[in-house]
């Protein structure tokens, strides 16, 4: 079964540019996207308990690879899909809708259903929102939402639905001076992995942020439908997503049988790659192990 799943991984992300293949009477065949080194989806065969690990906006499966590897070492079957429009070109992201991202997760869920009796979904940032959305609509054994931005506090975010038609990029980051990238590089070398650093676009598109706002709205409407045990992971030093999201989520998850909170003290936003990542991995495994015996 593991080999069959691996053979299908390349098909779980449909290029968003395929929607724009027909212009008038002219058919433009979309090209196959080239995946960035380190942005490939990953799969580890294990037990009948599955873990679906979902990365965040502008990032790639690299962001949750260590988490997935840790869970696989505990015996779980683990899949880390690549979200549509990610890990290829920035223009692919600009052409993506939040539904495209969700369908990537949904495809991964159905792949795991072929070999797993129970499925846990774990996501960071946008991946956390997608995980919550999945739990509201599918049979999920438990949810781990890490740094999930139920609300964005940046004042300019509300203008992105209009800006998407005017500009492509709204924020650019300097990869060369990113301390997290240096930390990831160092740890990759220590682990004997290819030293590729963080595999991400290092810029946000107006269209991408606008779609993020849309999925936030969808998830807020979904919260009461979630009946799976939930673990929320946030950091007090997260400069992107406030810990105030914890209260907003716990107030909305009225149907979840349990909502646990794990607060970090030193990490920034990408808690799966930052200084407390090992604590995050162990806490996620403890949450799953408790529910599976």
| 214 band by pLDDT with thresholds 50, 70 and 90 | very high
On average, the pLDDT of the chain sits at 88
Q: Is the pLDDT of residue 23 over 50?
A: no
Question: What order do you get walking across the sheet with 49-54 strand by strand?
Answer: 42-44, 77-80, 49-54, 118-124, 142-146, 230-235, 259-264
Decide: 136 and 159 in contact? Cβ < 8 Å: no
Note the pLDDT of residue 155. 52
Q: Is the pLDDT of residue 2 over 60?
A: no
| 89 band by pLDDT with thresholds 50, 70 and 90 | very high
| 260 band by pLDDT with thresholds 50, 70 and 90 | very high
Residue 202 CB neighbours (<10 A): 16
Of residues 22 and 120, more confidence is placed in 120
Task: Record the tokens describing residue 136, joined without a space.
Answer: 């509201």
As a whole number of angstroms, the distance between CA 148 and CA 125 comes to: 4
Note the pLDDT of residue 152. 78
The arithmetic mean of pLDDT across residues 121-130, rounded, is 99
Please provide the distance, in angstroms rounded to a whole number, between the alpha carbons at the two ends of the chain. 24
User: Of 84, 91, 199, which is closest to residue 130 (Cα–Cα)?
Assistant: 84
The arithmetic mean of pLDDT across residues 113-120, rounded, is 98
The arithmetic mean of pLDDT across residues 60-77, rounded, is 99
pLDDT tens digits, residue range 127-177? 999 999 999 999 999 999 999 999 977 554 454 444 444 445 555 667 878
* Burial tier of 28 (Cβ tally within 10 Å: 0-12, 13-18, 19+): exposed
As a whole number of angstroms, the distance between CA 242 and CA 240 comes to: 7
Note the pLDDT of residue 204. 80
pLDDT tens digits, residue range 216-258? 999 999 999 999 999 999 999 999 999 999 999 999 999 999 9
Name the one residue in this structure whose structure tokens are 């192990």.
Answer: 289
Least confident residue range of 119-128, 143-152, 203-212 = 203-212
**Displacement of CA 71 from its chain's centroid (Å):** 16
Residue 50 CB neighbours (<10 A): 25
Decide: 273 and 66 in contact? Cβ < 8 Å: yes
As a whole number of angstroms, the distance between CA 235 and CA 241 comes to: 9
Note the pLDDT of residue 12. 47
User: Of 124, 125, 90, which is closest to residue 201 (Cα–Cα)?
Assistant: 90
Q: Is the pLDDT of residue 189 over 50?
A: yes
Note the pLDDT of residue 198. 96
The pTM assigned to this predicted structure is 0.86
Highest mean pLDDT among 5-19, 82-96, 112-126: 112-126
Least confident residue range of 57-71, 161-175, 277-291 = 161-175
The arithmetic mean of pLDDT across residues 76-97, rounded, is 95
* Domains, the chain, ordered by start: 41-292 (3.40.50.1820)
The arithmetic mean of pLDDT across residues 26-49, rounded, is 83
| 32 band by pLDDT with thresholds 50, 70 and 90 | low
As a whole number of angstroms, the distance between CA 146 and CA 221 comes to: 19
Of residues 63 and 176, more confidence is placed in 63
User: Of 268, 200, 257, which is closest to residue 227 (Cα–Cα)?
Assistant: 257
């Amino acid at each position: 079964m593991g080999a069959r799943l691996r053979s299908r991984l390349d098909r779980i992300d449909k290029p968003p540019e395929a929607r724009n293949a027909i212009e008038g009477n002219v058919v433009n065949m979309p090209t196959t996207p080239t995946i960035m080194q380190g942005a490939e989806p990953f799969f580890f065969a294990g037990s009948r308990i599955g873990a679906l690990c979902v990365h965040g906006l502008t990032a790639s499966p690299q962001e949750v690879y260590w988490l997935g590897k840790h869970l696989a070492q505990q015996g779980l079957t683990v899949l880390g899909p690549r979200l549509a429009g990610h890990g290829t070109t920035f223009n692919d992201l600009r052409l993506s809708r939040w539904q495209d991202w969700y369908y990537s997760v949904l495809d991964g869920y159905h792949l795991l259903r072929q070999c797993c009796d129970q499925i846990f979904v774990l996501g960071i940032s946008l991946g956390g929102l997608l995980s919550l959305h999945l739990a509201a609509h599918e049979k999920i054994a438990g949810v781990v939402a890490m740094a999930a931005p139920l609300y964005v506090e940046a004042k300019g975010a509300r203008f992105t639905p209009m800006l998407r038609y005017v500009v492509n990029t709204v924020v650019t980051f300097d990869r060369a001076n990113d301390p997290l990238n240096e930390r990831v590089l160092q740890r990759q070398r220590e682990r004997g992995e290819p030293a590729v650093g963080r595999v991400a676009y290092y810029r946000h598109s107006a269209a991408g942020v606008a779609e993020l706002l849309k999925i936030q709205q969808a998830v807020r409407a979904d919260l009461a439908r979630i009946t799976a045990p939930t673990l929320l992971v946030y950091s007090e030093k997260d400069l992107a997503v406030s810990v105030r999201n914890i209260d907003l989520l716990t107030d909305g998850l009225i149907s979840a049988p349990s909502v646990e909170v794990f607060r970090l003290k030193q990490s920034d936003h990408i808690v799966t790659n930052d200084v407390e990542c090992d604590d995050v991995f162990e806490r996620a495994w403890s949450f799953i192990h408790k529910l599976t015996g």
